[in-house]
Amino acid sequence: MQQTPLTIDSIFRYVERHHGDKTIVTNSPTGPVRTTYAEWAVRTRKLGGVLDTLGISADGRVGTFAWNSARHLELYFAVPSTGRVLHTLNIRLFPEQLTYIANHAEDEAVFVDRTVLPLLWPLIDTMTTVRHVVVMDDGGDNEIPDDERVSLYEDLIAAAEPIDFRVEDENTAASMCYTSGTTGNPKGVLYSHRSTVLHTMAVVQPNVFGMAETDVVMPVVPMFHANAWGLAQAGPAVGAAMVFPGPMMQPKALADLIVDEGVTFTAGVPTIWQGVLPELAGRDHKLRDIGCGGSAVPKALSEAYRERVGLPILQAWGMTETHPVATSARLPRRLFDGSDEDKATYRARAGVPFMGVEVRIVEAGTTDELPWDDVATGELQVRGSTTALDYYKPDAGVELATPDGWMKTGDVAAIDATGSVRIADRTKDLIKSGGEWISSVDLENAIMSHPKVKEAAVIGIPDPKWDERPLACVVVVEGEELSADEVIAHITPMVAKWWLPSAVEFIDEVPKTSVGKFSKKDLRTRFADYQPS
C-alpha cells in the first residue's frame, strides 16, 4: 500500500478540492459574515505566505487569542500545514497564566481578535518571545496600538501570495493546548498531525458525532480550548458547512444562529446549553445532535432538551490530554426499546470509547485493574493513538503516564460490562466520609433535578468525626424560593442516607473556570472555615 502521511494539509486539500462551494458563516456584532471553503482556502494558502514573510521559524509556535471564526479556521490549517505549531491561547485565563504559557511555548507571534485585544495587549511586554501581534478585526472597536510589533491580519493577507502545503512526516507536531490545571503551572499538550487526523476520523463516525457532508456544524466549544473537540478539523474533513459564533456567545445569539443557519450539529459545555435552553425551546430547528462534555452533563438538562427542544443531549467525555474526545454515550441498540428513564440514565454516562482508545479503572496507585461491573470505582486510565503520555517540557515530578504506559485521567469512574464509562468524580472532588467515598457529581445531579434549582456544586468540608462531610452550594432559579429542608427532602429518595449533605448553602452563582466548568477550588476557598449551623 502507498505510504501517504496522515497530515492536516491533506484535510485542507480535500475540502479545498471537493467542497469549495460549501459555506462558512461567522457571527459578529454587525451580523453573520459569509464565505465559502473556496475563498477560505485561498486565504489560508495566503496565510501560509504571511507566516513565511513574518519570519516565523520553520517549527515555530504561533499563538492565537480568538473566538471561533473563519479566520481562526484559517490559522487552524495554515499554521500546521506549513510545519509550524498552532498554540491556541485561552482568552479566559488569568494574566499570569497567559504570560507563563506564551513564554513556556516560546510563541513567536500571536493572532488576536480585536474584541479581546485589551485582554492581551497589556501583557505583551511580558511575553518575551512574541515578535508579532496580528490583529483580526472581528467587529470590535478597541483601539489598535501604534507599535512596530502590531500588524493587521487583512493587510497581511492582501499582500501575501498563496503557497503550497506539504508536510511529509505525520509525526510532526501540529498544535498545542495548555490545560488550565487547578494545581501547579498550566501544562502543554502537543498534538501531532497523525493524532489529529486519527482523532478527526474517530469523531466523524456515527458512534461519536457522526458528521457528514449534509451537516451544518457549529462548534460552540471554543477553538481556544481543547482543540475545539476536533470539530474544526472534522467539519472540513467531511465537507460539512460550518457556522461559528464569533464573539456572539450570548444564549439568545447562539439560539438564533442555530435556527437561522439551519445548524444540524453543535457542541459545547453544559453551562452553555443550560443558558441556551429557554432561548431555543419551542422553536423550529434542524438540529440532529447537541454534543456536550467538559464536565458531567446533568440528566435533568438532557431530559429538558428532549422535552422542550425535541432531542436529548449527546454526552461525550475526554480531556485536553485525549485530543480531547475519547468516549461517547450514543444510545446503544439494546436500549432502543428501553424506558425513557433507562435511556436518560444511559445518556448521563461518559459512554463507550471508540476503536483506537482503550480504557481501564485501577486501584489508586497500582496497576491492578478493577472489574467492569459498574459498581467498582477506580482511577480511569486510557491509552491509544490520540492519547498524550507526557506534557510539553513538563515540570519535574509531573507524570501523566503509569509505568505500564496508560494515561492517568484524574477521574474516578466505574465501567459496565460493555465498557461504558460512568464518571463518579474527579479524584480531587471526591468527599471522604468515614473512610468511604461520596461522589460530588452524583449529589449535584440529584440536587439539579429539582425544578427550582439552577445550579448546584457539592464540596467536602472538614469534619472532626467523619474527616469530611458534603456541603451543597445551591443556586435557586430566579424568582423562586427554596429551603435547605426541601433540597434534602428532594434527594433523600435518590442517594444513600449517609451521603446526604450536612449543610445546604444558597449562593448567587457557582464560580466557573476559564472553560466554563464549576470551579470547586474557588468554592473550597470560600467555605474553608465553614461551620454547619
Active site residue 466: no
Of the candidates 9, 19, 133, 461, which one interacts with a second copy according to CB under 8 A? 19
Binding mask 385-414 for a second copy (x = CB under 8 A): xxxxx---------------x-x-------
44 binds a second copy (CB under 8 A): no
- The minimum distance between CB 259 and a second copy, in angstroms, equals 18
The catalytic position among 7, 26, 179, 386 is 179
Nearer to a second copy, 35 or 519 (CB): 35
The DSSP result for 55-69, as a single string, is T--TT-EEEEE--BS
Element (H, E) at 260: helix 251-260
The two counts, helices (H) then strands (E), for the chain are 15, 25
Range 251-290, binding a second copy (CB under 8 A): none
84 binds a second copy (CB under 8 A): no
11 binds a second copy (CB under 8 A): yes
Contact 205, 222 (CB under 8 A): no
343 binds a second copy (CB under 8 A): no
SS3 503: strand
What's the grid cell of residue 47?
496565510
Range 152-181, binding a second copy (CB under 8 A): 171
The catalytic position among 106, 437, 486, 521 is 437
Q: What is the largest CA-CA distance in the chain?
A: 72
- What CA–CA distance (Å, rounded) separates 214 from 86? 29
- The minimum distance between CB 101 and a second copy, in angstroms, equals 20
Nearer to a second copy, 16 or 303 (CB): 16
Q: Which stretch binds a second copy (CB under 8 A): 16-24, 62-70, 123-131, 296-304?
A: 16-24
What's the grid cell of residue 442?
452524583
The catalytic position among 321, 444, 455, 468 is 321
- The minimum distance between CB 189 and a second copy, in angstroms, equals 9
Nearer to a second copy, 11 or 109 (CB): 11
> Reading across the β-sheet that carries 107-113, which strands appear in turn?
150-152, 132-136, 107-113, 61-65, 85-88, 173-179, 187-192
Active site residue 321: yes
Q: Which residue has the cell 461518559?
A: 350
State residue 430 phi and psi, 5-degree precision: -60, 145
The DSSP result for 209-253, as a single string, is T---TT-EEEE-S-TTSGGGGGHHHHHHHHT-EEEE-BT--SHHH
Range 285-324, binding a second copy (CB under 8 A): 323
204 binds a second copy (CB under 8 A): yes
Of the candidates 24, 93, 119, 237, which one interacts with a second copy according to CB under 8 A? 237
43 binds a second copy (CB under 8 A): no
Nearer to a second copy, 37 or 273 (CB): 37
From residue 315, alpha-carbon distances to 22, 35, 325, 370 in Å are: 28, 31, 10, 24
Active site residue 187: no
195 binds a second copy (CB under 8 A): yes
H-assigned helices in 309-357: 340-347
326 binds a second copy (CB under 8 A): no
What's the grid cell of residue 229?
473537540
Nearer to a second copy, 195 or 295 (CB): 195
64 binds a second copy (CB under 8 A): no
202 binds a second copy (CB under 8 A): yes
3-class secondary structure for 362-392?
ECCCCCCECCCCCCCCEEEEEEECCCCCCCE
Active site residue 179: yes
- The minimum distance between CB 111 and a second copy, in angstroms, equals 24
212 binds a second copy (CB under 8 A): yes
417 binds a second copy (CB under 8 A): yes
- What CA–CA distance (Å, rounded) separates 182 from 428? 10
CB atoms within 10 A of CB 193: 26
Nearer to a second copy, 159 or 389 (CB): 389
**Over the range 237-252, which residues count as b (16 or more CB within 10 Å of their CB) and which as e?**
bbbbbbbbbbbbbebe
Of the candidates 30, 284, 333, 337, which one interacts with a second copy according to CB under 8 A? 333
Q: Which residues bind a second copy (CB under 8 A)?
A: 1-4, 6, 10-11, 13-15, 17-22, 171, 190-192, 194-195, 198, 201-202, 204-207, 210-214, 237-239, 241, 323, 330-334, 336, 352-353, 355-356, 358, 383-389, 405, 407, 417-419
Catalytic residue annotation: 179, 321, 432, 437
